[in-house]
A and B are shown apart, each in its own frame.
Chain A
Amino acid sequence: MTSFLRPRPALTSLAWPLAALALLVLFNLLFTPGFFNIELRDARLFGTPIDILNHASKVAIVAVGMTLVIATGGVDLSVGAVVAIAGAIAAMLATRTQAPFPLVVLAALAAGGVAGLCNGVLVTRLRLQPIVATLVLMVAGRGVAQLITDGLIITFEHRELSSLANTSFALLPIPAWIAIALALATGLLTRRTAAGMFLEAVGDNDRACRYAGVNDRAIKLAAYAFCGGCAGLAGLVECSYIKAADANNAGLFLELDVILAVVIGGTSLSGGRFSISGSLAGAVLIQTLTKTMYMHDVSADVAPLPKAIAVLAVCVLQSPVVKDRVSAAFSRGRP
């Protein structure tokens, strides 16, 4: 556990989101009555912080995959649509067939993986810009989901599928455990193998990687496929939570929250160094921010504004111009 947790980059990227989270929690402690009221019912915890974790899990699960894609210098806008597709497939299998639960899970994951693979092929083989390549599926994906559900909202009473997101284990909701396990597994996978170094190298300078014999296309392809798989998992969680598959609204605008979580977590949109723990912290931060606004009666129409301001602040802090100015100001301050 020591070698893959490289302290230096991880610490610096975690510092910002954790500090912001602490500020937000402090604000809620002072100004949001009942924010920390947690009660135990039927061996499950209820309360605002638990709600936040539950919702943040969905963002976090996708953010783990998105972190790898962004590390390669790409982006995946289609994750929201892939959530809808995976949810639709899971719901259809659960209601229309006798498929065992593991098969339902596998089908959702596979659908996500295939969708990610399509994105990856567009990016690596056809050399489309990632933002354009994944925009295709972002738009088309909901259509695919509609085709699967025949334009209906599929509700289900499948025992295992509906309990997935609505049960707790050791006080935490299952989705939170899924997110934590996924992040740990991905951390191990990338840092214990050479995948992490290749992802960062490809995102930093893919030409130099090709010259060094790194199969940069395979690395990118794998990142997109993995991200798609994560979106499939999130789709499963989402449809389990509402016990229905809604092709129109499942995962709607999820991609924005996810990208924001990754960027807040310290992974630069231009690729290179990445931090999975940072993305987790970013996901919790965003959900806390959203929840805080709801609790202070900020209407849903206005709610995106503070998020936009957060994005702006992060991007400004990451811009090389600002970084140079800041470091110049610091060095001038020194004797």
Chain B
Amino acid sequence: MPRGNVVDDLVSEPSPLLRVSALSKRYGRVAALDAVDLDVSRASIHALMGENGAGKSTLIKCLTGAVSRDSGRFQLDGRDLDPTSPRDAEGAGISTVFQEINLIPHMSIAENITLGRESFRAGLIDRKAARRRAEGAIARLGLSIDVSREVSSCSIAIQQLVAIARALDVQARLLILDEPTSSLDRTETARLFETLRRLRDAGLAVLFVTHFLDQVYAVADQITVLRDAKHVATRATSAFPRLELVSAMLGRAILPSSTSVNAGPEQQSPSLATKPSTNPSQAVSSPSGSPPFTDGSSAAPPPESRPEPSPRPTRDLLSLRAVSLAGSIEHADLSIAPGEAVGLAGLLGSGRTELAKVIFGLDRADSGSMSLDGQPYSPRSPRDAIARGVALTPENRKADGIVPSLSVRENILLALQARLGVWRSLSTRRRRDIAADLIAKLGVKAASADAPIASLSGGNQQKALLARWLATDPKLLILDEPTRGIDVGAKQAIERLIASLISGGLGVLFISSELPEIVRTCTRACVLRDRRTVAEVAGPSLTEERVMEAIATHD
């Protein structure tokens, strides 16, 4: 892609501190970054946003030299930069604090700050000098902590600040923070932001990766959005209304409508690189139940696949009331009826997966109540949940789903056999029949049922995992991002399968970042924002627009 292609709002600015031009990086056949441009100005806080797979972390890894880029150019203060390792990048003035705090727990704050950069006196580490330096670095953040304290005795927030102090100890000019607030509570976050503002006012540039909308609006001066490995938009925070930001992240079009959508300056819209197939005129005329937007990446299925909004059955299959779990869910209300597919929408980090984990017994709620089939329900483990007829296909297929070197057949039979127990083993013939039946029914493409599941494509692995649960005949199926990273054909097959499952009376909780999928598959959608269920959209009003509005609303 030629460089002139991207018209940046910051072109008028004299010269940025950091200029990234046409950065590309591929992993195998997958583009992680595709000709991405980014400018970060001096004395500013720049938020880098995007959903999973947008390319945020790859961008940071390239910048810090942790991975080598395929092509593109970095300029720091007008000079070319080619970091070969994080240490190298540090030397050039780019310091990074990663999500997992990389401190040594049983060493003091001072030792952690100066580790690897110790001053020596007569060949020995000069502890006094180290202490002075650490105190200076801590004071720069406006903190007063005893630097001889052991790091492990400090709160996570303080540890985060110590990590920042360490990053700044090398005369950093650009500080990169990779999701620094994901383990912090509100007051800790506020404290961190105060520090960031002070650092910015002192001239430091901060590149801040996050997916929390409120935080971006609280602290960032500029916002850059990546999506699907491409640069989508860069704008001043004040000129980037929430709804447009959400739309840019999710890759959906913004339409003028009766709601408060128009807050954003209209002339800015072109910089929102939306899918080319989006056709406003077509989309406006969508009072019917058909999907209002077409997604360029997946061919729209026939309209009849959208389930008819039937009258809600009175009996709930699953109901959640005021469920909360410290650090993962603040407040969740949800209900699912038999034969109903309910979508769970929200940005990354909004608590979708966390809620699924509570329902499946992987985590236990601190408060609130759940009921299943009219009976109280508080599973202590997935085994409890499975015994009650709940199933879950996890978001992270590789880590939590497949058992890679076992065969497709064994993977399919695993949950059923676990339910039967060790001693009631299925006969070889039964195993063959059950697996063959499900493989055919779901269209799993495998060389043979004996092939290791790791040899299958992502879509076929996902189908095999669905088969694993269908073998156990569940009542409630939780699908966490079932279509991530799989091809269009498999996506459609899975959507069709869900439709046929709910017509058979199964309840489905469908978690997805792809709004069109939720709109097509579900009769109702529940919206999560900042770990709370904030809205429910049902029936004919279930459109991408409405869901997006609910995600973007600020209260």
Contacts and interface: CB of A to CB of B under 8 A. Distances in A.
Contacts of A212: 382, 414-415, 418, 468
B382 A211 contact: yes
Nearest to B360: A211
A208 B425 contact: no
A204 B418 contact: no
Contacts of A195: 422
A201 B394 contact: no
Interface string B215-245: 0000000000000000000000000000000
A194 B399 contact: no
A211 B414 CA distance: 10
A213 B386 contact: yes
Contact of A207 (B383, B399, B418, B423): B399
A63 B362 CA distance: 35
Contacts of A193: 422-423, 425
Interface string B380-407: 0111001100001010000111111110
Contacts of B401: 208, 211
B419 A213 contact: yes
B333 to A, nearest CB: 25
A324 to B, nearest CB: 14
Contacts of B7: none
Nearest to A197: B410
A210 B386 CA distance: 11
Interface in A66-112: none
Contacts of B422: 193-195, 198
A201 B414 contact: yes
Contacts of A209: 403, 414, 418
A172 interface: no
B421 interface: yes
Among B400, B405, B420, the one with the most A-chain Cβ atoms within 10 Å of its Cβ is B405
Question: Interface residues of A: mostly helix, strand, loop or mixed?
Answer: helix
Nearest to B384: A213
B446 to A, nearest CB: 16
Contact of A201 (B387, B406, B428): B406
Interface in A196-239: 197-198, 200-201, 204-205, 207-215
Contact of B383 (A204, A208, A215): A215
Contacts of B404: 204-205
B423 A214 contact: no
A273 interface: yes
A130 to B, nearest CB: 19
A3 B468 CA distance: 22
Contacts of A194: 417, 420-426
A210 B382 contact: yes
Given A211-B392, A213-B419, A214-B414, A197 B406 contact: yes
A203 to B, nearest CB: 9
A265 interface: no
Contacts of B399: 205, 207-208
B405 A204 contact: yes
A192 interface: yes
A176 to B, nearest CB: 30
B464 to A, nearest CB: 12
A213 B415 contact: yes
Contacts of B420: 194
B459 to A, nearest CB: 18
B362 to A, nearest CB: 8
A268 to B, nearest CB: 9
A207 B417 CA distance: 17
Contacts of B383: 213, 215
Nearest to B383: A213
Contact of A200 (B362, B406, B450): B406
B400 A192 contact: no
Interface string B412-441: 011101111111111010000000000000
Contacts of B402: 205, 208
Q: Which interface residue of B383, B418, B425, B450 has the most chain A CB atoms within 10 A?
A: B418
A201 B468 CA distance: 14
A272 interface: yes
A3 B403 CA distance: 22
Contacts of B425: 192-194
A201 B403 contact: yes
A192 B362 CA distance: 31
B433 to A, nearest CB: 14
A205 B403 contact: yes
Given A194-B425, A209-B403, A214 B394 contact: no
A240 B401 CA distance: 48
A197 B406 CA distance: 9
A273 B452 CA distance: 11
Nearest to A214: B418
A208 B400 contact: yes
Contacts of A198: 417-418, 422
Contacts of A204: 403-406
Nearest to A193: B425
Contacts of A273: 405
A108 B419 CA distance: 34
Contacts of B403: 200-201, 204-205, 208-209
A194 B425 CA distance: 5
Contacts of A201: 403, 406, 410, 414
Nearest to A191: B425
Contacts of B418: 198, 209, 212-215
Contacts of B450: 8
A213 B401 CA distance: 11
A195 B386 CA distance: 19
A207 B401 CA distance: 8
Contacts of A213: 382-383, 386-387, 415, 418-419
Nearest to A195: B422
A323 to B, nearest CB: 13
Nearest to A196: B425
A207 B410 contact: no
A76 to B, nearest CB: 21
Contacts of A207: 399-400
A207 B421 CA distance: 18
Interface in A100-129: none
A215 B417 CA distance: 11
Interface string B284-308: 0000000000000000000000000
Contacts of A214: 414, 418
Interface in A166-205: 192-195, 197-198, 200-201, 204-205
B160 to A, nearest CB: 26
Given A192-B425, A210-B382, A273-B405, A197 B417 contact: yes
B224 to A, nearest CB: 34
Name which of B360, B401, B403, B450 has the most chain A CB atoms within 10 A of its CB: B403
16 contacts: A194-B417, A194-B420, A198-B417, A200-B405, A200-B410, A201-B406, A205-B399, A205-B402, A208-B399, A210-B381, A211-B360, A211-B392, A211-B400, A212-B382, A212-B418, A272-B405
Given A200-B410, A210-B381, 14 more contacts: A192-B425, A193-B423, A197-B410, A197-B413, A197-B417, A198-B417, A200-B403, A205-B402, A205-B404, A209-B418, A211-B362, A211-B401, A213-B386, A272-B405
The 4 closest A-B pairs by CB, nearest first: A213-B386, A213-B418, A214-B418, A212-B415
